[in-house]
Structure 1
Amino acid sequence: MKPVALAIHGGCGVMAKSDLREEEWEAARADLAASLRAGWAVLSKGGSALDAVEAAVVVMEDSPHFNAGYGAALNENAEHELDASIMNGADLDAGAVSAASRIRNPVKAARAVMEKSGAVLLTGAAADRFAERCGLEMVAPDYFTTQRRQDALAAMKEHAKAGTAAAASEAEKHGTVGAVALDADGHLAAATSTGGYNNKPEGRVGDSPIIGAGTYARDGVCAVSGTGQGEFFIRHVVGHEIASRIAYRGETLEMAANGVIREDLKSYGIGAGAVAVDGAGNVCAPYNTAGMFRGWTAGDGALYVASHDEVFCVETLEASA
């Protein structure tokens, strides 16, 4: 049986365990599990890695627990500017949107950019108009707003006034969602979606829509989706760097991903994390913060989710065909 695998993250901007009631943590983990089920439903029937990562990310974009789509961060003007990308490891085709404000599921728009636009990245109002022409579901910008993000924006503005922004919690700063997959045909894919960070400058674009930085996939090597302070992911071209360590230095997936997330980025003192899968179906989910929403499942169908150190085996799904 050919290996298949799926891994997701809901961002490394995870608050301390004491900041939420246990039922709230359970709700977030339940949405992670739902995301995995959506992606696995594709893979277990012989579907493509590209379809699987899109399906998994859509579930997290629709959840208020993660910083993407519904529940996304607010910029300095209390507005939403959403970024997303998707990449097909089979042919290195990719699509992305940035600073969108009306697309319910930005990852779907990224897929449409890849397949229908002739471009890789569309931005701002033009991205919204393109998505609308493609028949994607559009919403009013306030659809994305939740009380938690309004509270986080207020907290970050207070930090800015006091000059303590660097000391803000990861949950106050940022978050991202993403998925990586290997399908039964040996193809890899990755997708990432985010609202950016709370109180970000108007027009700021992070790594999530930048191919090679926050999202990267190459058949036979690996697929990567990152989360953290995007400026550093762009500078280090994190997704491509992890793939290059595997392809050119012969490192294992775990060595490469840990080397970038836990070593290369360590000196900057920033929060960072990623999920990655290689061509053999190995999965890695390194992070350097107190926690990272994450989950994975592979050929045996066992579904795992986690937010902090403890990993929960939720159920065993139907094994892949």
Structure 2
Amino acid sequence: MKITFYVLLLVSPVIINMEKIQPPGLKGKIVLLIHGGAGNFKESDLTPVQQKIYEKYLREALEEGYKILDGGGSALDAVEASVKLMEDAPVFNAGKGSVLNKEGHVEMDASIMHGKDLKAGAVAVVRNVKNPISAARMVMEKSNHVLLAGNGADEFAKSIGMEMEEEDYFITPSSFEQWKKANEPASVPKGINKHGTVGAVALDQNGNLAAATSTGGVLNKLPGRVGDSPIIGAGTYADNNSCAVSATGHGEYFIRLTIARSIAALMEYKKISLEQAVNEVIHERLHKSGGTGGVIAVDKNGNFTVSHNTTGMFRAWRTEKRCEIRFFKE
């Protein structure tokens, strides 16, 4: 089968709140979506060089996960692989490049969920595990728990042989500079105003869904603060009966509104489409509450949607027929 491959980087300032593609209802289809954070940034906030850098890392993460799906691999493996690459990239606020808390330390959160059996794993407030998303998966597969936090989570990861790093590994010149600016009297941190999260959702050839999310949290947060990313149902959710969702945004609002689970519940109980459910949650409930952010989501039939109520969101997706990478509303 001949596959036509497109990479599209759109920088148009034209505003669109929703992107939706409904691929033909063929058995065995595969879909992968990823995101690298949403926030109120616009085209003028990114130089052409910066745009190319973000595009490069998004493309690599997309290709890594899609390669697994295309080879018959699982959605769970695909989302972990994509998120892991974004954790390793220094430009996103997850893993290497995570923002610092009020005391100047890195505290990272992540979660993963399998739609086939609703199994899930998460870690919160970790400082030394190189890839929090892989630690989250190990919590799911090698413990009797769903969420481990703090030193206990780091020790668990170390005890099963996961790769660990000193804190300096995660701190980049950019994240350190942001933290310094944030702690200057009467100072507003400069740079892109974006929510610090990466994530992925996927549908594999066997019809299974999976979702994964990872973050460094909020710049200058209080030590011990936990956002929505490691909370199942808030920042991450996957159920083969409905959809898979990974969120990025103002975590406190996403927790209160159980954003990810709400989308799945609307589909399940109101029998509405993925697009309708996402639109109701992001552009009505989240908007009315005062929260900002967005989601990527794919349903059990391969329909998928990206939606955000911010001026920008780093996102990309690939199916058998199409690949796109976008930054801004258009």
Of 59, 77, 80, which aligns to 2:106? 80
1:52 equivalent in alignment to 2:78: yes
1:226 equivalent in alignment to 2:247: yes
Q: Check 1:20–1:289 CA distance in 2 against 1; reply closer, same or farther (3 A cut).
A: same
1:204 equivalent in alignment to 2:225: yes
Alpha-carbon separation, structure 2, partners of 1:223 and 1:113 = 20
Q: Check 1:46–1:25 CA distance in 2 against 1; reply closer, same or farther (3 A cut).
A: same
Q: Secondary structure at the match of 1:265?
A: helix
1:143 to partner: Cα distance: 0.6
Counterpart for residue 90 of structure 1: 116
1:173 to partner: Cα distance: 6.1
Alpha-carbon separation, structure 1, partners of 2:104 and 2:193 = 14
CA offsets per residue over residues 51-88 of structure 1, 9 Å max, x none? 00000001100111111001011100110000000000
Of 323, 327, 330, which aligns to 1:303? 323
Alpha-carbon separation, structure 2, partners of 1:183 and 1:66 = 26
Alpha-carbon separation, structure 2, partners of 1:152 and 1:290 = 21
Are 1:170 and 1:271, in contact at CA under 8 Å, matched by a contact in 2?
no
Alpha-carbon separation, structure 1, partners of 2:64 and 2:177 = 31
> Which AA in structure 2 matches 1:79?
H
Counterpart for residue 315 of structure 1: none
Alpha-carbon separation, structure 1, partners of 2:174 and 2:46 = 11
Q: Secondary structure at the match of 1:304?
A: strand
Alpha-carbon separation, structure 1, partners of 2:74 and 2:260 = 21
Identity across matched positions, percent: 49
Are 1:13 and 1:170, in contact at CA under 8 Å, matched by a contact in 2?
no
Q: Secondary structure at the match of 2:192?
A: helix
Counterpart for residue 313 of structure 1: none
Of 157, 171, 179, which aligns to 2:200? 179
1:2 to partner: Cα distance: 1.8
Alpha-carbon separation, structure 1, partners of 2:236 and 2:190 = 24
Counterpart for residue 154 of structure 2: 128
Alpha-carbon separation, structure 2, partners of 1:263 and 1:307 = 22
Q: Secondary structure at the match of 1:277?
A: strand
Q: Secondary structure at the match of 1:292?
A: strand
Give the count of matched residue pairs.
304
> Which AA in structure 2 matches 1:297?
R
Counterpart for residue 319 of structure 1: none
Of 176, 192, 211, which aligns to 2:213? 192
Alpha-carbon separation, structure 2, partners of 1:109 and 1:154 = 30
Alpha-carbon separation, structure 1, partners of 2:182 and 2:41 = 14
Alpha-carbon separation, structure 2, partners of 1:169 and 1:277 = 34
Alpha-carbon separation, structure 1, partners of 2:143 and 2:242 = 27
Alpha-carbon separation, structure 1, partners of 2:191 and 2:173 = 17
Counterpart for residue 254 of structure 1: 275
Counterpart for residue 217 of structure 1: 238
Are 2:313 and 2:328, in contact at CA under 8 Å, matched by a contact in 1?
yes
Q: Which has the higher helix share?
A: 1
Are 1:276 and 1:283, in contact at CA under 8 Å, matched by a contact in 2?
yes
Aligned Cα RMSD in Å?
1.7
Return 5+ residue gaps in structure 2 as ranges.
1-26
1:153 to partner: Cα distance: 2.0
Q: Check 1:171–1:66 CA distance in 2 against 1; reply closer, same or farther (3 A cut).
A: same
Return 5+ residue gaps in structure 1 as ranges.
311-321
Q: Secondary structure at the match of 2:145?
A: coil
Q: Secondary structure at the match of 2:73?
A: coil
Higher relative contact order (CA 8 A, sep 6+): 2
Of 260, 263, 266, which aligns to 1:245? 266
TM-score normalised to structure 2 length: 0.88
1:289 equivalent in alignment to 2:326: no
Of 42, 51, 59, which aligns to 1:33? 59
CA offsets per residue over residues 256-313 of structure 1, 9 Å max, x none? 112111211112333211100000111111011110000001132x221111135xxx
Q: Secondary structure at the match of 1:137?
A: coil
Q: Secondary structure at the match of 2:263?
A: helix
Q: Check 1:253–1:47 CA distance in 2 against 1; reply closer, same or farther (3 A cut).
A: same
Alpha-carbon separation, structure 1, partners of 2:276 and 2:190 = 28
Are 1:214 and 1:234, in contact at CA under 8 Å, matched by a contact in 2?
yes
Alpha-carbon separation, structure 1, partners of 2:212 and 2:194 = 21
Q: Secondary structure at the match of 2:200?
A: strand
> Which AA in structure 1 matches 2:221?
K
Higher mean displacement: 74-83 or 252-261 = 252-261
Higher mean displacement: 170-179 or 100-109 = 170-179
1:135 to partner: Cα distance: 1.2
Are 1:156 and 1:173, in contact at CA under 8 Å, matched by a contact in 2?
no
Q: Secondary structure at the match of 1:286?
A: strand
Of 264, 282, 289, which aligns to 1:268? 289
1:238 to partner: Cα distance: 0.6
